[in-house]
Structure 1
Amino acid sequence: MNLISLGQSDLKVTPICLGTMTFGEQVSQQTSHAILDRSLERGVNFVDTAEMYAVPTRKETAGATETIIGNWFESHPGVRNRVVLASKVAGPTRATPWIREGTGMTAADIIASCEGSLKRLKTDVIDLYQIHWPERHVPAFGLTYYEPRKETTTTPILEQLLALAQLVKAGKVRYIGLSNETPYGVHEFVKFAEQLGLPRVVSVQNPYSLLNRTWENAMDESCHRLGVSLLAYSPLGYGLLSGKYDQSGTTGPDAPAEARLTMFESMRKQRWGRKESWETGKLYNQLARDNGLTPTQMALAFCYTKWQVASTILGVTTVAQLDEDIDIWGTQLSPEVLKEIDAIRKQHRDPAQ
């Protein structure tokens, strides 16, 4: 894997990123450290986390993932300099009142969150600091439409950007990014950065998979023209594109007991738990098998080879899963398979958007 630059920055990352939201909930610290070790051994230099992790989010485990990563840095002298570390500040009003209550996300909120993350991560600087979701009301996390009547924003984008700029100036953050964003949000952050000489966002972390290609509806052109990179999360659709739920669904007698959609009812109530997501996932999985591929191979190869994707974020619970996912790097999908993929999307669109 060749290193790539994120956006218009000199931040060099691998096109595979290790996602860590399972650390501290499904995955113990010991196994988390083994996964981190193996990831680095396999050449992956990019690690993504967030202040609200582990997931599903709970007051008892908020910050646990960052603490586990910080303990790994502490127990492995010198390893911090080999890793590009990304974390995220939680937005408001999304089932995380122990982090931030109500509406708004002030400059003070952002700075305090960063300070907390630095302490837990046991580092002096975060290489890529992202806003986890917009302070605005946006169509994300299963919402399809923007509804002005539901708008509750109280913190201007400029105020948020100025706070991030303060962190960059202080040397606590190298570069900034967004997550779960829309074209409007990206354009506003870039506009203010260019007008006022403030830090420019280098990336957006949004869902992208066979079950959710909404990035291609407008975000791809916006970010391509603005020079902002996509970090694709949930490339396996919370496991729906691995084939493991095909027979019994998420709650049937043969459902994988330790898989997240089986374990956590709260996740089954989200976009990944929709009947249409499961049914469409099975169509893609069968297409893979019909063409001599595993479902995981086809789903990840799709993300790995799309021009829109700078780096694909992998969420795993074992070292074996990590190895399987990295081994798929280099797999090419035939024009015929890509045509069939597009045919399924044309009929079923984006069920997990």
Structure 2
Amino acid sequence: MTDALRPRIAMTMGDPSGIGPELAVRLLAEPDTLDQADVRLLATPAELDAACEEAGVQVPTSPEPTAGHVTLVPPQLGDRPVARGRATVEGGRRAMTDLLHCLDLYRSDSVDAIMFTPLNKSALHWAGMHEEDELRWFAKELGWDGTTSELNFVPGLTTSRVTSHVALSEVSRRISARSVLDATRLLHQVVRDNGAESPRLAVCALNPHAGENGQFGREEIDHIEPGVELARAEGIDASGPFPCDTIFIEARDGRFDGVVTMYHDQGQIAMKLLGFDQGVTVQGGLPVPIATPAHGTAYGIVGKGVASLGPTRRAFEIATNLGRRASLARAAQPAGG
């Protein structure tokens, strides 16, 4: 029987053409990392050795899950040469294949959460990922039709989105009381699972000045405020809608644990200003927790050893927290339940 307090994390090195391998081995070389969880890394011994040599670190391994050691999982496309420092179809194919392998590990009850280092959307598209983002691709591969949202984390604050990777011209028509409730409910759950006992949530308006009582649009009156009321009726501590050009100041100062945003850049600009070097993305709402640093493959600094480890370290902590929560929930279920 596994120790529910030590979740099992499947980790990939992301797009091998980018800084992902460097970030993965630097993280795994830190003793505190392997004290938190049992890590299954999708890499061959040769790939691990090459990444460690480039980064100047050592990562202890064991053929079986052992505290303080990484267990290597043979990847399906291991040891195939991939060009470094630029987007490639080979890099995208390897990243996708590794993620599919992680989903298989979850389906077989071999892991509690998944973490991957940065991917490149162009490389993934060339390799065959045609959904609007990785979240929708994960949902399709899992056959999952529940509520999903990308969640973004900086220390002390998390955001969810009512709409995500869509044109701005599509945003208004996708906002409804139900979609606001869904994004608020999901944010409440994930922030709570990550350690906040009673999350305090703010909900953004869509229009300038929160619509000025309908002068600048009725989305706040017709959809957003009713969605907030539905969330409050479920016992969620949500308030709003607030003008988005001021609410992040209050959130930064500690009044809120999370903010529900209406579209991608409404939250992302604020979050990256608040903590670009600590940003994490969680694929929220899926049946398995999935986390990744909220930055790209940084092809221009591959091999230079200067990539910031902060977001990767934080992504691992969040994946561990969410994976532990999922493991404990399963352990509490009655036999056959």
Which structure would you say has the larger Rg?
Answer: 2
Query: Same fold, TM exceeding 0.5?
Result: no
Q: Please report the TM-score for the alignment, with normalisation by the length of structure 2.
A: 0.30
TM-score normalised by length of structure 1: 0.29
Higher relative contact order (CA 8 A, sep 6+): 2
